[in-house]
């Protein structure tokens, strides 16, 4: 039986071992689309924690082999596979790159099921600590966060040792321990063969020793050209001063540096901190891939998904991504490699240079190692884009199936393509708000979410009257604004609540002539659906796609309304606290509200920021901060609908104003490791 047959689920007949484990759904879907390329694969558990990192000459063959019976016999593999919930892959250029990347990821995540050498010692590094009085260059097997400079890792330890021997000839430094250095005494053999300047007996000043060590670091950083020029100038000056022995020594050092630069440039390759960025696009979807190269090695990557206009050029898309990505707080390296030169490159370079505090160069590599790395990053962007397009196609199919199931369960004439859900939030009748969320084709439409302040209910909570008001206001807008943004009517209305809330909503719909729109109430406790005029509730299967869709819509409405409710409470608490401070009148209170918004924000800003506002001075600012600090506002508690009374006759408000929001991106379905993409702030046009 072939590997393909085993993967596709044919029965395993080997009686000597256990049956192969079935991959979880998220992994099974990805196994069929694995590339036949070298790379690294990462297994994650249900919490998203990395539990295993592996390398492969062929990701397709290697990853699939885990789910065959031959691997299932291995006890530790079985334990790991039972915990696997997701799979991530990174395509590499060759097996060596995959090996190094695997090592870096293991060091970073320390997966439970990876075999690690003691102390994580694998590839050698060069270490030098310029904070020491007499620094020395060491070959180490572990990189620590100790403030020292590290260079590497280097795959060829033999070549590295040969290179270090040459460097020691060019830049003599001590190799003895700190204890031996402190003992002093006679200089050792290394002084007599010109490999050490003998700081132990004071034959070299600290200033001269540190100058040579800084030159050594400069060479390791790849700045050998400027170092050679400096040494040549010193050699010429020594010759002119008739210091022929020193000039000859400098000549030998220059020759040695050129030798090591030519023959060992693979070992001591140029160290560069750079980001490598590539975009892949299909229609209005862009996948961005960023690889981080730090000190000459790939340390990690990030992936982002962006929406773009159909007519947006690749150069404009690259410029927009770079600007938003680095504005969002990402560390700016000295060099950014891109697969497409961004629009306004000079302006963007100036902006990033200001962000970094030093010069930043943006360039498109055309040849060499940088071009090969760019091709690899672009290939990973393409893979991410293919994965997202497939996921969206699958989501559309799932959403369509859920809508068809919902149509059948609720007896609707056709699948409900537009669903609107309404929820009430309050605490004991204070700051009663309502939220309306909209789903189209089974997916959220945040740009059409709406918030309402309830105006006809105050004091005691009345969920029935509150629901009646919000339904009346929403559909009255539809009747009055036949061609505007409120004119689109839903195919299905979902009320968060029970029979009482549904009856109140139906009364409002009948009053406006929209009672032909199907409306149901979804009760939170047992997830039952109530229909108008029907005594028995509708119970959808617990694991049905239709119920999951309704729960998603209801939860979105609850979240959306809760955010607005908390904001109103925080503003009200701040206003009431400020009213008790002498010298704070309506005008100054409004200035504080506009500038900070919450008591926590005022306290975090401090008296200096408050005193900088128009109409404030230092003494008043200190009084404001002191008053707020003495009675800090507690964080909001969990809210929900209060116990309601029987629904009364609707009394439409005299002045109706609806709080609208700017578009908000839904988080459902997205990946958190890719949510570092810039988001626009949500702004509410709050009602008075």
Q: Residues 82-120: pLDDT tens digits? A: 888 999 999 988 776 776 687 678 777 878 777 554 444
pLDDT band (50, 70, 90) for residue 502: very high
The residue with greater pLDDT, 170 or 537, is: 537
212, with CB counted inside 10 A (0-12, 13-18, 19+), is: middle
Q: What is the pLDDT of residues 197-230, one digit of tens each?
A: 888 888 889 888 998 888 888 777 766 666 677 7
Query: Average pLDDT of 628-651?
Result: 43
| For residue 130, pLDDT beyond 80 | yes
pLDDT confidence of residue 577: 63
- Please give, one letter per residue, the 3-state secondary structure of 184-252: CCCCCHHHHCCCCCCHHHCCCCHHHHHHHHHHHHHHHCCCHHHHHHHHHHHHHHHHHCCCHHHHHHHHH
| For residue 328, pLDDT beyond 50 | yes
Neighbours of 168 (CB within 10 A): 19
Per DSSP, the three-state class of 20 is coil
How far is 504 from 650, CA to CA, in rounded Å? 9
pLDDT band (50, 70, 90) for residue 565: low
| For residue 597, pLDDT beyond 90 | no
pLDDT confidence of residue 660: 33
Span of 77-81, 104-108, 281-285, 650-654 with lowest mean pLDDT: 650-654
Span of 36-40, 115-119, 627-631 with lowest mean pLDDT: 115-119
pLDDT band (50, 70, 90) for residue 682: very low
Which of 41-55, 262-276, 551-565, 664-678 reaches the highest mean pLDDT? 41-55
Query: Average pLDDT of 515-527?
Result: 87
Q: Give the residues across from 415 on adjacent strands.
A: none
Percentage of the chain modeled with pLDDT above 70: 74
Tokens of 515: 């009672």
Percentage of the chain modeled with pLDDT above 90: 11
639, with CB counted inside 10 A (0-12, 13-18, 19+), is: buried
Query: Average pLDDT of 405-433?
Result: 83
Query: Average pLDDT of 336-361?
Result: 84
Please, what's the largest Cα pairwise distance for the chain? 111
Q: Let me know: does 285 contact 305? Beta carbons within 8 Å.
A: yes
Which is nearest to 454 in space by CA: 286, 651, 313, 316? 651
Q: Let me know: does 15 contact 35? Beta carbons within 8 Å.
A: no
pTM of the model: 0.44
How far is 435 from 156, CA to CA, in rounded Å? 63
Which is nearest to 501 in space by CA: 307, 312, 309, 641? 641
pLDDT band (50, 70, 90) for residue 491: very high
Q: Let me know: does 303 contact 287? Beta carbons within 8 Å.
A: yes
pLDDT confidence of residue 7: 27
pLDDT confidence of residue 492: 93
| For residue 232, pLDDT beyond 60 | yes
Residue 318 CB partners (closer than 8 Å, separation 6+): 277, 279, 338, 339, 340, 341, 342, 343
How far is 226 from 598, CA to CA, in rounded Å? 55
pLDDT confidence of residue 156: 58
> Is it true that the peptide bond before 120 is cis, omega within 30 degrees of 0?
no
Stated length of the chain: 688
pLDDT confidence of residue 678: 35
Torsion over CA: 478, 484, 489, 493 (sign): negative
């Amino acid at each position: 039986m072939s590997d393909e047959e085993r993967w596709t689920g044919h029965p395993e007949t080997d009686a000597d071992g256990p049956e192969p484990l079935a991959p979880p759904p998220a992994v099974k879907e990805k196994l069929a689309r694995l590339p036949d390329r070298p790379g690294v694969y990462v297994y994650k558990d249900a919490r998203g924690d990395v539990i295993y990192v592996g390398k492969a000459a062929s990701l397709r063959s290697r990853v699939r082999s885990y789910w065959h019976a031959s691997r299932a016999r291995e006890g530790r593999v079985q334990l790991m596979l039972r915990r696997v919930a997701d799979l991530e892959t990174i395509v590499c250029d060759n097996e060596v790159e995959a090996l190094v990347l695997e090592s870096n990821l293991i060091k970073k995540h320390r997966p439970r099921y990876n075999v690690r050498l003691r102390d994580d010692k694998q590839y050698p590094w060069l270490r030098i600590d310029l904070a020491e009085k007499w620094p020395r260059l060491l070959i180490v097997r572990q990189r620590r966060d100790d403030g020292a400079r590290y260079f590497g890792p280097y795959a060829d330890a033999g070549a590295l040792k040969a290179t270090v021997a040459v460097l020691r000839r060019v830049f003599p430094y001590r190799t003895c321990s700190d204890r031996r250095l402190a003992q002093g005494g006679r200089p050792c053999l290394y002084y007599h063969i010109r490999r050490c300047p003998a700081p132990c007996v004071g034959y070299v000043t600290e200033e001269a020793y540190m100058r040579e060590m800084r030159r050594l670091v400069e060479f390791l950083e790849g700045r050998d050209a400027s170092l050679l020029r400096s040494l040549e100038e010193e050699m010429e000056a020594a010759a002119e001063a008739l210091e022929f022995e020193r000039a000859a020594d400098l000549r030998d050092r220059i020759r040695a540096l050129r030798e090591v630069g030519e023959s060992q440039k693979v070992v001591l390759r140029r160290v560069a901190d750079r980001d490598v960025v590539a975009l892949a696009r299909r229609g209005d979807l862009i996948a961005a891939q960023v690889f981080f190269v730090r000190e000459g090695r790939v340390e990690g990557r990030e992936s982002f998904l962006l929406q773009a206009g159909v007519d947006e050029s690749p150069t404009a898309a690259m410029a927009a991504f770079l600007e938003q990505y680095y504005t969002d707080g990402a560390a700016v390296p000295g060099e950014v490699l891109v697969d497409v030169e961004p629009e306004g490159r000079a302006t963007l370079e100036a902006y990033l240079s200001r962000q970094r505090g030093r010069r930043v160069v943006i360039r498109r590599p055309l040849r060499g190692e940088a071009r090969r790395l760019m091709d690899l990053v672009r290939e990973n962007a393409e893979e991410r884009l293919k994965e997202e397009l497939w996921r969206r196609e699958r989501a559309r199919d799932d959403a369509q199936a859920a809508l068809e199931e919902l149509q059948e369960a609720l007896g609707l004439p056709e699948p409900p393509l537009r669903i609107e859900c309404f929820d009430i939030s309050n605490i004991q009748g204070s700051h009663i708000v309502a939220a309306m969320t909209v789903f189209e084709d089974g997916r959220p439409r945040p740009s059409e979410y709406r918030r309402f302040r309830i105006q006809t209910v105050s004091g005691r909570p009345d969920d029935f009257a509150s629901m009646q008001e919000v339904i009346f206001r929403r559909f009255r807008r539809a009747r009055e604004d036949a061609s505007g943004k409120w004119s689109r009517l839903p195919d299905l209305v979902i009320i968060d609540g029970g029979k009482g809330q549904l009856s109140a909503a139906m009364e409002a719909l009948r009053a406006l002539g929209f009672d032909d729109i199907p409306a149901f109430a979804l009760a939170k406790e047992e997830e039952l659906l109530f229909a108008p005029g029907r005594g028995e509730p509708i119970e959808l299967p617990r694991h049905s796609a239709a119920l999951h869709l309704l729960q998603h819509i209801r939860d979105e409405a609850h979240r959306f309304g809760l955010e607005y409710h908390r904001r109103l409470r925080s503003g009200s608490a701040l206003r009431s606290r400020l009213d008790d401070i002498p010298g704070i009148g309506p005008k100054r209170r409004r200035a504080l509200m506009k500038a900070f918004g919450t008591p926590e924000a005022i306290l975090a800003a401090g008296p200096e920021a408050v005193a900088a506002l128009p109409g404030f001075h230092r003494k008043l600012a200190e009084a404001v901060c002191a008053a707020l600090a003495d009675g800090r506002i507690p964080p909001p508690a969990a809210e929900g609908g209060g116990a309601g009374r029987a629904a009364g006759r609707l009394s439409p408000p005299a002045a109706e104003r609806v709080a609208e929001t700017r578009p908000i991106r839904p988080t459902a379905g997205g990946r958190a490791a890719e949510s570092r993409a810039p988001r626009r702030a949500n702004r509410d046009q709050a009602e008075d």
